[in-house]
């Protein structure tokens, strides 16, 4: 994600434009009690175009891919590979064969960890990550370190939740063999300066994976231009289905990686005495893939591409500004993390109230947000918390919903005895 893109000068949508976007999400218009959905960092809602693309596959072209010459199979394969091309276009990469379909960022990171990094590191070598990482970009590297004897180094953060660039640079050394870093913290919204960081790794000759799970819906994504070697995204964070994601890898990197899983559709020839593997991306897509999920992911990125991305960003920035201002106006509410560049997410706690209790009371008002450690325990521990409340916005949210959240917090504080003393 371009850091420059995180400070959009585009005008936010008009009320009519926003309502048109909201109307594309069936759940928001359901006959049940209207919800204020502010848990987009965990999973976003799906527009009708995504649901329709998946439904159309099952209704019109339900067959396996890459294996049949009959019409249904050809149609299924066409839709599946069209989705791969759509993801490549979304990422602004020229070669669709650099896009590997995976279950999500978690599988993408594990694939790179086991297939690319593990064979190349050993005792004395170092892998560098940061305290901003989700567990899915933390635990796989702990496993590789245990398996190989390599050392996992973790760059710290400041009290405001910013990446400590001085610490990162000091830990990027002659023994560093790989760097894996988030483009946006899922827990507190911090956006690290990737351009600066990747200029350092490039100068050091160190390959880099960028975890784009939280960033991909909130800014323009150009991993090759950025200088990354790998970039991972999850469908369900960007208005697509669960259980599907994509790993982009530079062609020269993918070609040197052995398969991580074995099975059908990832081979050229199997013999009793050996096997010849297919070229990427098929080499890494063993077995029957999540065909409908891939097609839904393709529809999701095309949905995003049809939006004015700068307007999306300006809209979301306005929502975050209103939320931060509203939370700061409440005496016992404490925002966790004050990064200079933030995307999508605001985490907070309320003095004198348990976050779980607050979330339960908010749910009674139809307000959906996350509570817990957000799979980022090392980061929250560094900032002095075991759990926070987390609100995360998306393109379809509006200022009325931010107001409802703030009103819900006031009501919860009164009920729990944690309101302002006047």
C-alpha 132/C-alpha 130 separation (Å) is: 5
Q: Are 285 and 96 in contact (CB under 8 A)?
A: no
Beta bridge partners of 402: none
CA dihedral 212, 215, 220, 222 (to 10 degrees): -20
Helix, strand or coil, per DSSP, at residue 346: strand
Helix, strand or coil, per DSSP, at residue 134: coil
Nearest to 156 by CA among 132, 176, 139, 183: 132
Centre a 10 Å sphere on the Cβ of residue 1 and count the other Cβ atoms it contains: 25
Return phi, psi of residue 190, to 5°. -60, 130
Return phi, psi of residue 92, to 5°. 60, 45
Residues in the chain: 422
Centre a 10 Å sphere on the Cβ of residue 386 and count the other Cβ atoms it contains: 11
Q: Which of 324, 375, 415, 416 is catalytic?
A: 375
- Residue 184 annotated in active site: no
What CA–CA distances, in Å, run from 421 to 38, 351, 406? 28, 13, 17
Handedness of CA 12, 15, 17, 20 (dihedral sign): positive
Looking at the annotation, which residues are catalytic?
A: 375
């Amino acid at each position: 994600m371009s850091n420059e893109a995180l400070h959009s000068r585009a005008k936010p949508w008009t009320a009519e434009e926003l309502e048109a976007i909201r109307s594309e999400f069936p759940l928001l218009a359901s006959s049940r009690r209207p919800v204020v959905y502010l848990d987009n960092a965990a999973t976003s809602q799906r527009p009708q175009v995504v649901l329709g693309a998946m439904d159309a596959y099952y209704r019109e072209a339900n067959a396996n891919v890459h294996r049949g010459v009959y019409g249904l199979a050809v149609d299924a394969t066409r839709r599946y590979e069209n989705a791969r091309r759509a993801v490549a276009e979304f990422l602004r990469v020229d070669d669709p064969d650099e896009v590997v379909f995976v279950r999500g960022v978690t599988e993408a990171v594990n694939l790179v960890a086991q297939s690319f990094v593990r064979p190349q590191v050993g005792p004395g070598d170092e892998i560098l990550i940061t305290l901003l990482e989700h567990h899915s970009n933390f635990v796989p590297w702990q496993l590789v370190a245990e398996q190989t004897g390599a050392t996992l180094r973790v760059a710290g953060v400041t009290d405001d939740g910013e990446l400590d660039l001085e610490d990162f640079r000091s830990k990027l050394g002659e023994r560093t063999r790989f760097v894996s870093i988030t483009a946006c913290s899922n827990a507190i919204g911090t956006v690290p300066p990737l351009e600066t960081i990747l200029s350092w790794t490039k100068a050091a000759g160190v390959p880099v994976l960028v975890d784009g799970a939280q960033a991909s819906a909130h800014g323009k994504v150009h991993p090759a231009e950025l200088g990354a070697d790998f970039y991972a995204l999850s469908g369900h964070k960007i208005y697509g289905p669960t259980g599907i994601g994509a790993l982009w890898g530079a062609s020269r990197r993918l070609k040197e990686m052995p398969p991580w899983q074995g099975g059908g559709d990832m081979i050229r020839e199997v013999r009793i005495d050996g096997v010849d593997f297919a070229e990427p991306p098929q080499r890494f897509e063993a077995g029957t893939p999540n065909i409908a999920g891939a097609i839904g992911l393709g529809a999701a990125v095309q949905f995003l591409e049809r939006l004015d991305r700068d307007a999306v960003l300006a809209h979301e920035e306005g929502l975050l500004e209103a939320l931060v201002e509203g939370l700061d106006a409440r005496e016992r509410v404490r925002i966790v993390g004050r990064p200079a560049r933030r995307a999508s997410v605001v985490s907070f706690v309320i003095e004198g109230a348990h976050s779980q209790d607050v979330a339960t009371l908010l749910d009674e008002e139809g307000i959906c947000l996350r509570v817990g450690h957000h799979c980022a325990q090392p980061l929250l521990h560094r900032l002095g918390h075991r759990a926070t409340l987390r609100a995360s916005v998306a393109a379809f949210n509006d200022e009325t919903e931010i107001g409802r959240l703030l009103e819900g917090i006031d009501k919860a504080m009164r009920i729990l005895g944690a309101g302002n003393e006047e």
